[in-house]
Amino acid sequence: MNAEPSPDWQPTLRGDLVHLRPLRDDDLDALHAAAADPLVWAQHSEKDRHERPVFERFFAGAMASGGALAVLDAATGRIIGSSRYYDWNPADRSVVIGYTFLERAAWGGRINGELKRLMLDHAFRHAAIVYFHVSPGNIRSQRALERIGAGFDHAQDVPVGGVMSPRLIYRLDRP
C-alpha cells in the first residue's frame, strides 16, 4: 500500500480582492515594506517584528515552513501581507493556518475574510480540522476568527521563533 502524498501547502489561490502564491526569496523587501508599520505587530507577541533583523528571522521561518504564501492585492499585484499553512498532521487530518498579517490599509474590510476563505477552501480539500494559533493579546485576530466560525478550543504553549509562547488555539471543522 502506497502512502498518500502530502498535500500542496503552497498553492496559488485567486479571489476577487487577493491572490495568494508561494512566498519566494525575492519577496523579502516587498513583504518587509508591508510589515514595517509597528502597529501591524502591536497585538502580537513579537511586537518588534517591524524591525528588519527581527523580520528577517520571521521571513526565514516562513521560507523554511514549506507552507508560506504571499498575499497580493488582486488589482495591483503588490504584496500586502502573508500567511502560512503548517503542522500538517495526516493522522488526524489537521493543519494550522497562522502567522497571518496584512498591512494596515487592508484592515477593516473584506480582504482578511477572503484570504481566510481561500485558505480554508484549499485546506478542507485535504484536512478535516483547521487550527489557528493566536497570541492571547491579539483581540483583533480572535474576533476575526470568530467571525468566520472558528471557536476557541484550548490554550497551549507553542514554539514561535524558537521560544515557547502561549497561544489560544481556535478550531474550525470541515463543513
Q: Is residue 139 assigned to a domain? A: no
The alpha carbon of residue 173 and the mean position of all alpha carbons in its chain are separated, in whole angstroms, by: 17
Q: Would you say residue 99 lies in a domain?
A: yes
List CB contacts of 73: < 8 A, sequence separation 6 or more.
Answer: 17, 18, 80, 106
Structural domain includes residue 57: yes
pLDDT digits (tens, 9 = 90+) for 25-57: 999 999 999 999 999 988 887 889 999 999 999
* In a domain? residue 166: no
Q: Is residue 64 part of a domain?
A: yes
**pTM of the full structure:** 0.92
Reported as a single tens digit per residue, the pLDDT across 75-124 is: 999 999 999 999 999 999 999 999 999 999 998 889 999 999 999 999 99
Strand partners, 171: 131, 151
Q: Of the candidates 40, 47, 84, which has an alpha carbon nearest to the alpha carbon of residue 62?
A: 84
Query: How many domains does the structure of the chain reveal?
Result: 1
Which pLDDT score is estimated for 51? Answer: 93
State the helix-helix crossing angle for 111-123 and 139-147, rounded to 10 degrees: 60
The verdict on residue 165 lying in a domain is no
pLDDT attached to residue 4: 67
- Residue 6 domain-assigned? no
Instruction: Give the pLDDT band (50/70/90) at residue 68.
Output: very high
Domain range for residue 109?
13-128
Give the model's pLDDT for residue 109. Answer: 82
CATH number of the CATH domain containing 88: 3.40.630.30
Residue 3's pLDDT is: 60
